[in-house]
Structure 1
Amino acid sequence: MGIQNSKFRWVIFASVLFTYVVMSAQRTAPGLITDQLMTDFQVTATTIGLLTSIQFFVYTGLQMPMGILADRYGPNFFLIIGAILTGVGTIMYSLGTYEFVLFFARILTGIGDATIWVNLVLILSKWFNEKEFTRLIGVAGMTGSLGFLMATVPFSALIVLLGWRGAFLSGGILLCLCGIFLYFVLVKKPNHPMIEKNEVHREKTSVLLRRIFSSRQAWALFLCHFGLVGGYLGFIGSWAVPYGMDVYGLTRLGASQLIMYSLIGALLGAPLIGWISSRLGMIKGPYLFFHMVTVLCWSTFLLFREGPPLFLLIPLFIIIGFAFGSNSLTFATVRKTFPISESGMVSGFANTGGFLSAVLLPAFFGIVLDHFTSGYYFGFIIPLIFSIAGLIGVNLIKE
């Protein structure tokens, strides 16, 4: 029997992606209540910065271990546990009365969050054929951006309605319910040959790791993801609003619209680029094109000492977001060029590259701002270098 022809796979697709939307929203939602946390807990901006970054450090550090575990024991169990852990962490965050409780809660949500993408990729790769997967992984990428969008105006409205504690409590309960629902969808319902434990491959993990770390293809995908994700998440998510305010004199609301433009680009780019790649029957060509577009966009910032004119700035943010949507092709390449028994590990390795750059870029950008008068101008050299690394990576891919 072919599970890739089963209609039930669409139920799995919808339930896994809904969980991903909710988990993506809780990643960035704490940024909405920074001032309230500082007031309620009497903490400094440095403490809040550490609280914000700790989840991403945990997420990045667990990508490879999660890939190894998913390959060994199957993705279903880890996705279910991850959703529940994230929910419990979010509930603890909403009920916390001491700083250490907030830190523990964000570490817990980081552990849960680390399970989502690698296991989502594995689940979709088992239930959908290669051509469908290339299209649908783009849709999955879009849902991540949709989650970030949910963590802006909609979640702000929920905070106004319920207070920040009530809003986060609601989000945590919803995630726990998602985990329970996934248990019935992924474990109890299907009677398919999609066994949780990988019965096919018994190679030692150390042997697999050596092979992946010596694989040109794996490093190429690491660099591809490093080049795209850092510039988008690292700059757009951290420095875009201060840039708009400091360089263009925009209000906080006006500057935050820059993020919205980029987010709209990403929402459009992810599914459309996946569809284009699927229609063309190739991955490297479209991926190479959008890496080149990203390099050109970041280069454009260096042509204007005082910043690009506003009429050019907005299209730049939209195009950077659109090109970022092509990062889902990293995992389409994994699906196409690695055996299923190794795809979790390679996906985790590639995803580590992306989030490593997202952690490094804001820090490097901040150092440049502290040491140069025209800090923003010189700061754009960093995403340019990162995107060039991505361009090198995509040229190394063998399709």
Structure 2
Amino acid sequence: MWTVGLLIYLLAVFHRSSLAVAGLAATERFDISAAQLATFTMLQLLVYAAMQVPVGLLVDRFGSRSVLLTGAVVLSAAQAGFALAETYPLALLARFFVGLGDAMTFICVLRTLAMWFAPRRIPLITQLTGTLGQVGAIGAAVPMTWALSTVGWTRAYLFTASLGVILALVGLVVLRDTPDARNLRGAALSPSAVRRSLAASWAHPGTRLGFWIHFSTQFSATTLSLLWGYPFFVRGEGRTPTEAGVLLTLLVVAVVTGGPVLGWLVGHHPWHRSTMALVVVTAIAATWTVVLAWPGEAPFGVLVVLALVCGVGGPASMIGFDVGRTSNPAERLASSTGIINVGGFLASLLLVVAIGLVLDWRTPGASTSYTPEAFRWAMALQYLLWGLGLVQITRYRLRARRVIDREALQAGVLP
């Protein structure tokens, strides 16, 4: 069960990240500016973030299998539409549905884990899911760069769309919601019951702590991998396209290697989960400070460190889900996960759009030849988000610790 769900999530990450290496090609294909290019990712992330809570409610009501298979079909159709689009409005419509299909994947996989694995193993399996899913981002780095330059835009994107159809067919045969039921249906919820469920989830300080952990740890890596990493490394730091692809791949390598380590630490030291998140956020901000303050172009070795440290932010964001899992009962698990998942993608959405606006502001005329100086202005916007996130993590960490039983948490006893 987990393997098929993981493969669908992996493909969703690929679709989500494919524009990162196709950004410059997209500006030429659709004749668009930096702000318009950022709108692709902005729209995709906006839809993704807006759908997290509704998808969580759908999973609680209809089960993870049905929602996950629907997401796989929507993703495939959207990516095919993006492959064939020749105008900017049609391409935007396709990215809208990419975000919609993407929103239906990760929550479903987390719900499946909760039904198939023992509570003590869930932190590690959750990290492995997020970690291995990022292999999709590797596929969207060097291989997708090669495919775009070799077979062209349309064929490259059509091939990736076909993979989703194959996985949906496999999932239709293999996936089950629980060991005892192919489809697990929850009770129908009235609008008032939905409001009460969401309010109860959000009222718990553990949910809010999870939200702000996800908000603070993820956005730097997401922004680099989804859109601005390749242009930043090529135009902002003077690297070749191959070097930029390597750096984006190293970012994903950090996700893959850091996930199991953090999963083990969270499983064995759950009381200190927020401390781990604070350390990761501080390290990411410090590394960016070195790069942005470097006179001229930063050495390749420094950029390697940046990619690796930012990559750790991906698995660190999973800490937020574990905090939410241990703060809410089973019937609110998917909806509380949806609330938390909004955090990182909301921050990423704000940053992606703001970077595009600042690049256009700091670049003369209608040119897309962004300067290193323009990128330094744009990337410095991250400090605003880090500052807000660190304050809120510290705030809700104190509140959560007042209501969470430390001994029960260490013993793996859930609400």
- The answer, yes or no, to whether TM exceeds 0.5 is yes
Work out which of the residue numbers 339, 342, 349 in structure 1 matches 2:332: 342
**1:381/1:90 Cα in 2 relative to 1: closer, same or farther (>3 Å)?**
closer
Q: Does the CA-based 8 Å contact 1:237-1:259 persist in structure 2?
A: no
In structure 1, give the amino acid aligned to 2:344: G
In structure 1, give the amino acid aligned to 2:109: L
Q: CA deviation at 1:221?
A: 1.5
Q: Does the CA-based 8 Å contact 1:295-1:388 persist in structure 2?
A: no
Q: Determine the C-alpha separation between the residues in 2 that align with 1:279 and 1:150.
A: 32
Work out which of the residue numbers 346, 351, 363 in structure 1 matches 2:353: 363
Q: CA deviation at 1:307?
A: 6.7
Q: Does the CA-based 8 Å contact 1:265-1:319 persist in structure 2?
A: yes
Q: CA deviation at 1:149?
A: 0.7
1:198 aligns with 2:197: no
Instruction: Report the equivalent of 2:207.
Output: 218
Q: Determine the C-alpha separation between the residues in 2 that align with 1:89 and 1:339.
A: 35
Work out which of the residue numbers 123, 126, 131 in structure 2 matches 1:142: 131
**1:308/1:37 Cα in 2 relative to 1: closer, same or farther (>3 Å)?**
closer
Map 1:321-332; keep pairs closer than 5 Å. 321-332=311-322
Identity %: 20
Q: CA deviation at 1:354?
A: 0.6
Q: Which runs of 5+ in 2 are unaligned?
A: 364-371, 405-415
Instruction: Report the equivalent of 1:54.
Output: 43
CA deviation map 1:15-40 (0-9, x unaligned): 11111111211122244445655666
Q: Does the CA-based 8 Å contact 1:235-1:361 persist in structure 2?
A: no
Q: Which runs of 5+ in 1 are unaligned?
A: 1-11
**1:284/1:73 Cα in 2 relative to 1: closer, same or farther (>3 Å)?**
same
Q: Does the CA-based 8 Å contact 1:64-1:349 persist in structure 2?
A: yes
Instruction: Report the equivalent of 1:383.
Output: 382
Instruction: Report the equivalent of 1:227.
Output: 216
**1:316/1:18 Cα in 2 relative to 1: closer, same or farther (>3 Å)?**
same
Work out which of the residue numbers 122, 140, 160 in structure 2 matches 1:151: 140
Q: Does the CA-based 8 Å contact 1:89-1:106 persist in structure 2?
A: yes
**1:131/1:392 Cα in 2 relative to 1: closer, same or farther (>3 Å)?**
farther
Work out which of the residue numbers 63, 66, 83 in structure 2 matches 1:74: 63
Instruction: Report the equivalent of 2:112.
Output: 123
**1:380/1:31 Cα in 2 relative to 1: closer, same or farther (>3 Å)?**
closer
Aligned residues: 386
Q: CA deviation at 1:364?
A: 2.6
Instruction: Report the equivalent of 1:264.
Output: 253
Q: Determine the C-alpha separation between the residues in 2 that align with 1:158 and 1:359.
A: 27
In structure 2, give the amino acid aligned to 1:132: R
**1:97/1:244 Cα in 2 relative to 1: closer, same or farther (>3 Å)?**
closer
CA deviation map 1:337-369 (0-9, x unaligned): 211111111111111111111111133334455
- Normalising by structure 1, we get a TM-score of 0.84
**1:209/1:258 Cα in 2 relative to 1: closer, same or farther (>3 Å)?**
same
Q: Determine the C-alpha separation between the residues in 2 that align with 1:48 and 1:381.
A: 20
Q: Does the CA-based 8 Å contact 1:74-1:197 persist in structure 2?
A: yes
Q: Determine the C-alpha separation between the residues in 2 that align with 1:190 and 1:335.
A: 18
CA deviation map 1:74-127 (0-9, x unaligned): 222111111111112222333445554433332222211110111111111111
Work out which of the residue numbers 301, 304, 326 in structure 2 matches 1:314: 304
Q: CA deviation at 1:14?
A: 0.7
